[in-house]
Amino acid sequence: MDSNKLMDALGSFQQELPSEINILELRRSSVDDQQRRLRKLLKVSGDACERDFDRGQWQTFDDHTLVRLPQGAHAVLFHASGAVKLTSGLGEMESLFKEPEPKKQLVDRAEALLKTLGLHEQLGRREMLTFERLWQIKACAADRSGKTIEPVLCRAVGAFRHHVEGIPVLGPASVAVQLAGSGELDMISILMRSPEGETLERVKALHPERGARGIVQQLAEQFADSRGEIQFDCRDGMRFGYLSLPKRKTQRLLAPVYMATIDVTHDKERQGLVLAVRATEKSYLPLNPPGHESPPSISSKTAGQRCC
């Protein structure tokens, strides 16, 4: 492994680090509170796409709430994080864009829709949402003779990043709004973990070089018994920020990390990894947890048995 080259890529770190960072306690919301917020979101989203989302069938399960809405729309609320996703029920290949649109125009549309939904107004004093990335979902086709049509734009997705005290909260997109061709809302997902107000500790961030070394160390361990030429790339460089765990996981506090997306090229295979290391001396979050194993109940194929 060429760790020097990777260290260079990780070390091209541009973010300005605060001299001290707060370790923040996160707001703990009851399911009732989360459902109240979801009702508000359904109301404004329904208004935004001229649909009646006030009426719906609500079902509460242990870990999530499901709301079935008119015309195939549905919403799901994840109790562990308060994350929500609302899907409009539009057909996958319906309401396509009539022609490609400039990226700037799509971003403007996504930002305007976000404003309509009033999400900025729900943020606390030390929080903000900024545009991060535009995604486009496209489709294409070819016939038997190899004739290929021009790609069509099906959906545009504006991804936004939540910031707390000026620090981005890394992880899945904090907010993603998916637009259909008519400009209407097709999907919105929200995963924002907001602080309660309490600062648990005030700490210094580790130097970025220590973050980079931690990431290189993890890679060295993972590829310890790989013999041969392997290429590692870190196109976006290393990032610093608070971390939000995925939506089905509970989280008690916000603490900073260094994070990097690594692309690995082997002779025949490709691989992609996202690695995070703590950016503080003390460990606050369960980073890079060990993966699950296969279910113990499954039997061996060589024993000539099927699992069920």
Partner 1 sequence: MARFGVEGIRYFNHARAAGVSTASDLTYTFNRANGFDSKLRGAGHQRAFYWANTDCWETDIRDTDRGGSDRSWVDDVDLFWIETHGNHEGDGQARMLYDTPQTGWRTYSDQWQLGENWNAEWVMAYSCKTVDRNNVVGLWNIFAGLHIYCGAWDNMYDAWTTDECGEDVAHNLVHGDTVSHAWHDGVSDWAVDNHPITVCVGNAATWNNGNIRWDLSYLNRDHLWGHGNVEPDLPPSQQACILWRWSEG
171 makes contact with partner 1 (CB under 8 A): yes
222 binds partner 1 (CB under 8 A): yes
Distance CA 52, CA 257 (A): 42
Q: Is 65 an interacting residue with respect to partner 1 (CB under 8 A)?
A: no
- At 150 the three-state DSSP class reads coil
Closer CB to partner 1, 208 or 241, in the complex:
241
Q: Is 57 in the site for partner 1 (CB under 8 A)?
A: no
- Closer to partner 1 by CB, 22 or 117: give it: 117
Q: Please, what is the minimum distance in Å from the beta carbon of residue 246 to partner 1?
A: 5
Burial of 116 (0-12, 13-18, 19+ CB in 10 A): middle
- By CB under 8 A, tell whether 218 contacts partner 1: no
Toward partner 1, which CB reaches closer, 93 or 105?
A: 93
Instruction: Using alpha carbons, list the distances in angstroms from residue 184 to 6, 95, 304.
Output: 43, 9, 54
φ, ψ (nearest 5 deg) of residue 114 = -60, -40
Q: Using CB under 8 A, count the residues that bind partner 1.
A: 79
Closest distance of CB 202 from partner 1, Å: 27
246 sits near partner 1 (criterion: CB under 8 A): yes
Residue with tokens 């809405």: 69
CB of 38 to partner 1, least distance (A): 16
DSSP 8-state assignment for residue 148: B
Beta carbon of residue 157, minimum distance to partner 1 (angstroms, whole number): 6
Which of 55, 104, 125, 147 is close enough to bind partner 1 by CB under 8 A? 147
Q: Which of these segments, 11-19, 41-49, 205-213, 239-247, binds partner 1 (CB under 8 A)?
A: 239-247
Structural element, H or E, at residue 189? strand 185-190
Instruction: Determine the interface stretch with partner 1 among 15-23, 26-34, 37-45, 244-252 (rule: CB under 8 A).
Output: 244-252
Is position 275 an interface residue for partner 1 (rule: CB under 8 A)?
A: yes
Q: How far apart are CA 260 and CA 212, in angstroms?
A: 9
Q: Which CB sits closer to partner 1, 68 or 120?
A: 68
Q: Which of 48, 152, 200, 203 binds partner 1 (CB under 8 A)?
A: 152
248 lines the binding site for partner 1 (CB under 8 A): yes
Give, in degrees to the nearest 5, the angle at Cα 195 between 53 and 58: 25
What residues contact 219, with CB distance under 8 A and at least 6 apart? 1, 3, 6, 232, 262, 273, 275
Shortest Cβ distance from residue 176 to partner 1 (Å)? 4
| Stretch of residues binding partner 1 (CB under 8 A), selected from 9-17, 93-101, 112-120, 193-201 | 93-101
Binder to partner 1 among 62, 104, 304, 308 (CB under 8 A)? 308
User: What residues numbered 125-144 form the site for partner 1, per CB under 8 A?
Assistant: 132-144
Please list, residue by residue across 197-218, b when 16 or more beta carbons sit within 10 angstroms of its beta carbon and e when fewer do. eeebeebebbebeebbbbbbeb
Structure tokens at 101: 């649109």
Exposed/middle/buried for residue 160 (C-beta within 10 Å: 0-12, 13-18, 19+): buried
